[in-house]
Amino acid sequence: MRTSRWYGKLLGFFAGAALLRAEPPLGALLGLLIGHAFDADWFRLRDDPYRVLRVPDDASDADIDQAYRRLMSQYHPDKFATAAPELRRRAEQKAREINGAYDRIQTLRRPRR
């Protein structure tokens, strides 16, 4: 889905080596680990809306609409009306997550005036 990033590892490696000059291998490895965490989006605070809809970042609007409809047909709370209360709550939570992701993508793709 996401293209592989590498610049965090490179910058982390050199920053760690420069900051911890007394222990160059340790500093470089620590910087490399922090750079990897940055590249892998470990510090992301919110869910990626594209990941929620299971589409790549460069997906077309038609692909996003299709993924949204497919997921909503699977998790729509009305399909779980007669299910156990826990399953119904999970379906409602998942439907809210899918709707939120779709709305965020629509907002991000809306042309600015």
The predicted-structure confidence for 25-61, as pLDDT tens digits, reads as follows 777 777 777 777 776 666 665 678 998 999 998 999 9
Query: Per-domain residue ranges for the chain?
Result: 7-39, 49-109
- Using a 10 angstrom Cβ sphere, with 0-12 exposed, 13-18 middle and 19 or more buried, the burial of residue 27 is buried
Distances from the Cα of 60 to the Cα of 63, 66, 109, angstroms: 5, 10, 11
Averaged pLDDT, 8-25: 69
Alpha helices in 1-113 (DSSP H): 7-19, 24-39, 49-53, 61-75, 85-109
Question: Poorest-confidence range of 37-46, 72-81, 83-92?
Answer: 37-46
The matching CATH number, chosen from 1.20.120.1200, 3.30.70.980, 1.10.287.110, 3.40.50.300, for 49-109 is 1.10.287.110
pTM for this entry:
0.59
| Top-confidence residue, 49 or 10 | 49
